[in-house]
Amino acid sequence: MARGALRVAVAGIPNSGKSTLVSALSGLSIRTANYPGTTVSIQEIRIKEGGREIILVDLPGTYGLRSDMADEAVAAREILSGNYDVLLVVGSAMSPEQTMYLLLQVLELGRPTVLVLNMMDLAGRRGVALDAAALEKRLGIRVLPMSAATGMGIGELRRLLSDPQAIPRGNEAAVDYGPLEKYIDEAARALRSSRGIAIAALTGALRLPEFEAVEEIARRARSEVGSLEEFITGKRWRAVRELVAAAFPGARRTPLGRLDSALLNAGFGPIVSLIVLFALAESIFMALGPAVDYISEALGWIPVGAAASRLGNALAESLIVDGIWNGLTTLISFIPYVFGVALLVALIEDSGLIVRLALPLERWLRALGVPSRGLIYMMAGAGCNIPAIAATGAIPSSRDRTLTALLIPYVPCTPRLLIISLIATAVMPQLVGIAVALPFAVALIAVAISSRILGSTSRALGKPSPYAYELPPLVLPIHRAFLKKVWHYTYEFIRRAGVLIVAFVIIMWFLSVSGPAGIVGPEALGNPGLLRTTWLGVAGGLFSPLLNPIGIPWEISAALAYGYIFKEVVLGALAVLYGLGEGGLTHALAGALSLPSALALIVFTTFYSPCVATIAAEARAAGWRLTAVNTALQFLLATALAYSTYFIAGWFA
Amino acid sequence: MKSIRRVNDVPEGSLVEVVAVGSGRLMDLGLSAGSKLMVVFSVPHGPALVQMEDGRYVVLDSSAASALEVVPLRVPRGGRRWRWRRGNPGATRFPGEGMLW
């Protein structure tokens, strides 16, 4: 008889290298899906071992089985009541206390459990030893020392999972709760459940239909021991300390290193953090430049136009060249950026640098309404918003992740800066430096305003909850499993956001070759008169009355409407509308714009619209409703700030 | 009588005793009333980094740090505070003796 697939929940403490372990176990692809009703991502991988299919479900990292944070609450719910054959607890040998604390709670559930102690190589170098036999004896489970980075222990884990009958349930009563034991037994009998479920129900960490019966038991227990949460936590930590003393001889932490002392400094730490973040982001984007150029050049060699011309139909040819092929090349040209941002984010997150960089800046960022971990993603967004938004999946808090994804489109990306540079060069050549700094200053104001509006009005974001965690060790995470993880991230972006990006480009093509009167034809793409009659031309016309009062002519307003497709096409559209080559635009803009109008246009261009690909990535990270609200908010803020700039500049001009 | 303060309002290098743990999260990290902590990094109303008795370092964001009430046991002589918001990046001196930890 064929054996069914084995379902394994992979639970672990934050910064235990759990995702590196999952990457090391997986093949080339990982299936990622949102947990029902949340924006919390759950990864699922399928492996075959010993002729048996094993489904590993990678849960968000958590310290315990109760939490106010959305991600950890999902992990707790799945561990407590999910349908799994085996619970795989991934801990860190660098953090034996937190590992044991989570493990003891999982053991109380009385299900087949395996402990993986990751980062053994690193712990060994720092003088931490592990007496695995002592731990196995006390807990009654299999303990696997492992280094996911080097691959040590991976084979043994696979073999163990292929034979689930050999996985013991462990010592359910590893913690002695003293006077509370009788109440736990009573609750377990009333619920016909494990000890762990009974404890979770008594403390309110798990809400069950039989709540009233348990509440009465909990009331009696509280009258004897006081706060159940404090009493139970205290007993667990006492057991943890005994276990660590017995199984981790010589496990003591070293003092903070020099780099830690430099970064974790309230005086100059913020400046050092900003410099390190800027240097890292800048070096990645500089390294990416040639890759993007090579890819663009290589794509240019593919004779799609020549092949499409054989169709003998101008509209079909345009659909293939300007629609489908344009969508595909756009997606392909994003890949180096996506890989670069994934590399940057994974490097900063996995090295433990993120905490050290975010902590000194937290108070400043908090004043701006930016989540402390969000800064690195926003800096990455200065190259291209899309991969930065997609990368926010690595932020542990659901609220911070969504808010960061919504704030990134306010950061001016490279194509927006190109438009701004052209305007500045045309109208204020002597002030180009200041003009290019202006968008960042305006973006900062807009981020502060929008984060408050979004954070205080959107229930979908959830409430902020206090966040505390153990300082992870500082490591250099360059190894095979790390690169595989970066690849998984890139692949996931192509698979999920890629389809939307290509689809949007094709839709935008359709809107630029058709109008209220029907199909206008591909000629509209190069003819200013026809372009005005298309849907996009009509939309551009709608911008005109809005921007005309601040001295921005129709041609520029209409071209900006194309920014909703991609900012890269704005200059091309502007050239078509003025009937010029892009080289002649400087003169045209210089003649069309006054200084206050130019400054207002720079402010408006900074974040008036995300492009379609950004909208697709944003919707995937934050949901369609919040994306729509945020897109409208961006437009309103950009308009209000542009008007303010125009009138303020007018007073001085 | 010793005054109760928030952990992020205590100078760096201070040894403190926890009076009240504001959240279950901090309990999960092993903090409880009576725990002794060394304040490694702190910004008034901002985040803090503390070292626990077992040697672990715990990072507290502004909310978590503001919810953790402590009593200073020892404050380093001439403990310095960074007060960016109040426009005084210079020192505010606190009484106290040398570090204990």
pLDDT in tens, A279-292: 887 787 778 778 87
Cβ of A363 within 8 Å of Cβ of B47? The answer is yes
As a whole number, the mean pLDDT across chain A is 85
- Closest chain A CA to residue B44: A363
- B30, B43, B62 member nearest A237 (Cβ): B30
Instruction: Please tell me which residue, A642 or B99, carries the higher pLDDT value.
Output: A642
- A67: number of Cβ within 10 Å: 21
Cβ of B57 within 8 Å of Cβ of A470? The answer is yes
- Closest chain B CA to residue A359: B47
> What pLDDT sits at residue A636?
95
Is pLDDT at A611 greater than 90 in this prediction?
A: no
- Considering all CA atoms of chain A, what is the largest pairwise distance in Å, rounded to the nearest integer? 87
- A508: number of Cβ within 10 Å: 22
Taking the Cβ of residue B10 and every Cβ of chain A, the question of whether any pair is shorter than 8 Å is answered with no
How many A×B Cβ pairs under 8 Å? Answer: 115
Res. A253 pLDDT band, cuts 50 70 90:
low
Residues 6+ apart with CB under 8 A from B25: A63, A67, A68, A69, A465, A466, A467, A468, B64
B20 chain-A contacts, CB cut-off 8 A: none
Taking the Cβ of residue B28 and every Cβ of chain A, the question of whether any pair is shorter than 8 Å is answered with yes
Residues 6+ apart with CB under 8 A from B60: A466, A468, B7, B8, B26, B47, B48, B49, B50, B68
As a whole number, the mean pLDDT across chain B is 79
How far apart are the C-alpha atoms of B10 and B70, rounded to whole Å?
A: 9
**Top-ranked range on mean pLDDT: pick from A147-151, A463-467, B80-84:** A147-151
- B12, B28, B49 member nearest A101 (Cβ): B28
Q: DSSP secondary structure string, A269-306?
A: HHHHHHHHHHHHHHHHHHHHHHHHHHHHHHHHHS-HHH
- A344: number of Cβ within 10 Å: 26
Q: What is the mean pLDDT of residues A232-250?
A: 92
> What pLDDT sits at residue A113?
97
Residue with tokens 């001439």: B78
Mutate which of A230, A362, A465 to disrupt the B interface (most B C-beta within 10 Å)? A362
User: Strand A468-470's sheet: what is its strand order?
Assistant: A468-470, B57-60, B48-52, B36-42, B15-20, B69-74, B5-6
Taking the Cβ of residue A613 and every Cβ of chain B, the question of whether any pair is shorter than 8 Å is answered with no
Q: Contact, A109 vs A102, CB < 8 A?
A: no
A464 chain-B contacts, CB cut-off 8 A: 63
User: Strand A31-34's sheet: what is its strand order?
Assistant: A31-34, A41-49, A52-58, A6-12, A86-92, A113-118, A142-145
Is pLDDT at B89 greater than 50 in this prediction?
A: no
Cβ of A363 within 8 Å of Cβ of B25? The answer is no
Residues 6+ apart with CB under 8 A from A275: none
Cβ of A234 within 8 Å of Cβ of B32? The answer is yes
Q: Name residues 433-452 of chain A within 8 A of B (Cβ).
A: none
How far apart are the C-alpha atoms of B7 and A265, rounded to whole Å?
A: 16
Q: Contact, A11 vs A82, CB < 8 A?
A: no
A261 chain-B contacts, CB cut-off 8 A: none
Q: Contact, A525 vs A330, CB < 8 A?
A: no
Is pLDDT at A115 greater than 90 in this prediction?
A: yes
How far apart are the C-alpha atoms of A198 and A206, rounded to whole Å?
A: 9
Which sign, positive or negative, has the C-alpha torsion A129, A133, A135, A136?
positive
Return the minimum-mean-pLDDT range out of A28-42, A44-58, A173-187, A504-518: A28-42
> What pLDDT sits at residue A544?
84
Q: Contact, A596 vs A650, CB < 8 A?
A: yes
Q: What is the pLDDT of residues A370-387, one digit of tens each?
A: 888 788 888 888 878 888
Cβ of A253 within 8 Å of Cβ of B64? The answer is no
How far apart are the C-alpha atoms of B86 and A316, rounded to whole Å?
A: 65
Q: What is the pLDDT of residues A132-154, one digit of tens each?
A: 999 999 999 999 999 988 889 99
How close does chain A come to B99, measured CA to CA in Å? 15
Per CATH, the number for A6-166 is 3.40.50.300
Is pLDDT at A450 greater than 70 in this prediction?
A: yes
Q: What is the pLDDT of residues A531-561, one digit of tens each?
A: 788 888 888 788 888 899 999 988 888 888 8
Q: Contact, A426 vs A448, CB < 8 A?
A: no
Is pLDDT at A425 greater than 80 in this prediction?
A: yes
How far apart are the C-alpha atoms of A342 and A324, rounded to whole Å?
A: 26
User: What secondary structure, in 3-state letters, does A212-237 show?
Assistant: HHHHHHHHHHHHHHCCHHHHHHHHHH
How close does chain A come to B2, measured CA to CA in Å? 24
B25 chain-A contacts, CB cut-off 8 A: 63, 67-69, 465-468
Q: DSSP secondary structure string, B7-71?
A: GGGS-TT-EEEEEE---HHHHHTT--TT-EEEEEEE-TTS-EEEEETTS-EEEE-HHHHHH-EEE
How far apart are the C-alpha atoms of A357 and A264, rounded to whole Å?
A: 8
Cβ of B41 within 8 Å of Cβ of A264? The answer is yes
Q: Contact, A347 vs A477, CB < 8 A?
A: yes
How far apart are the C-alpha atoms of A590 and A167, rounded to whole Å?
A: 75
Is pLDDT at A639 greater than 90 in this prediction?
A: yes
Q: What is the mean pLDDT of residues A237-255?
A: 84
Q: What is the pLDDT of residues A191-207, one digit of tens each?
A: 989 999 999 999 988 87
Whole-number CA gyration radius for chain B: 13
Mutate which of B27, B51, B58 to disrupt the A interface (most A C-beta within 10 Å)? B27
Nearest to A61 by CA among A32, A27, A30, A92: A92
Is pLDDT at A351 greater than 70 in this prediction?
A: yes
How far apart are the C-alpha atoms of A100 and A121, rounded to whole Å?
A: 19
How far apart are the C-alpha atoms of A340 and A489, rounded to whole Å?
A: 11
Task: Identify the helix (H) or strand (E) that includes residue A58.
Answer: strand A52-58
> What pLDDT sits at residue A580?
65
Q: What is the pLDDT of residues A296-309, one digit of tens each?
A: 788 888 888 888 88
* CATH class, range B5-74: mainly beta
**What single-letter DSSP state applies at residue B88?**
B
Return the minimum-mean-pLDDT range out of A415-419, A500-504, A582-586: A582-586
Cβ of A469 within 8 Å of Cβ of B23? The answer is no
- A98, A269, A362 member nearest B61 (Cβ): A362
Taking the Cβ of residue A582 and every Cβ of chain B, the question of whether any pair is shorter than 8 Å is answered with no
Q: What is the mean pLDDT of residues A517-522?
A: 86
Please provide the size of chain B in residues: 101
Q: Contact, A558 vs A650, CB < 8 A?
A: no
Taking the Cβ of residue A268 and every Cβ of chain B, the question of whether any pair is shorter than 8 Å is answered with no
Q: What is the mean pLDDT of residues A250-270?
A: 78
How close does chain B come to A64, measured CA to CA in Å? 6
> What pLDDT sits at residue B84?
44
Q: Read off the tokens for A575.
A: 């050239």
How far apart are the C-alpha atoms of A58 and A75, rounded to whole Å?
A: 9
**Percentage of residues in chain B having pLDDT higher than 90:** 45
> What pLDDT sits at residue A233?
95
**Percentage of residues in chain A having pLDDT higher than 70:** 94
Mutate which of A63, A199, A233, A397 to disrupt the B interface (most B C-beta within 10 Å)? A233
> What pLDDT sits at residue B63?
85
> What pLDDT sits at residue A201?
92
Taking the Cβ of residue B23 and every Cβ of chain A, the question of whether any pair is shorter than 8 Å is answered with yes
Is pLDDT at A263 greater than 80 in this prediction?
A: yes
Residues 6+ apart with CB under 8 A from A386: A334, A337, A338, A497, A501, A613, A614, A617
How close does chain B come to A132, measured CA to CA in Å? 21
Where in chain A are the domains? 6-166
Which sign, positive or negative, has the C-alpha torsion A623, A627, A630, A632?
negative
Is pLDDT at B48 greater than 90 in this prediction?
A: yes
Mutate which of B6, B7, B25, B68 to disrupt the A interface (most A C-beta within 10 Å)? B25
Is pLDDT at A464 greater than 90 in this prediction?
A: no
Q: What is the pLDDT of residues B2-24, one digit of tens each?
A: 689 999 999 989 999 999 887 88
Q: Contact, A437 vs A421, CB < 8 A?
A: no
> What pLDDT sits at residue A174?
93
> What pLDDT sits at residue A286?
79
Q: Name residues 216-235 of chain A within 8 A of B (Cβ).
A: 229-230, 233-234
How far apart are the C-alpha atoms of A102 and A109, rounded to whole Å?
A: 12
Taking the Cβ of residue B24 and every Cβ of chain A, the question of whether any pair is shorter than 8 Å is answered with yes
A237 chain-B contacts, CB cut-off 8 A: 30, 32
Alpha-carbon distances, residue A441 vs A158, A436, A607, A614 (angstroms) = 53, 10, 12, 21
Q: What is the mean pLDDT of residues A422-443?
A: 83
> What pLDDT sits at residue A218?
94
B41 chain-A contacts, CB cut-off 8 A: 264-266, 269, 359-360
Whole-number CA gyration radius for chain A: 29
Res. A1 pLDDT band, cuts 50 70 90:
very low
**What single-letter DSSP state applies at residue A368?**
H
How close does chain B come to A568, measured CA to CA in Å? 40
Cβ of A266 within 8 Å of Cβ of B82? The answer is yes
- B30, B45, B60 member nearest A97 (Cβ): B30
**Whether complex ipTM tops 0.90:** no
Q: DSSP secondary structure string, A113-170?
A: EEEEEE-HHHHHHTT----HHHHHHHH-SEEEE-BTTTTBTHHHHHHHHH-GGG----
A269 chain-B contacts, CB cut-off 8 A: 41
Taking the Cβ of residue B56 and every Cβ of chain A, the question of whether any pair is shorter than 8 Å is answered with yes
Q: Read off the tokens for A472.
A: 């992870």
- The identity of residue A482, as a single letter, is F
Taking the Cβ of residue A471 and every Cβ of chain B, the question of whether any pair is shorter than 8 Å is answered with yes
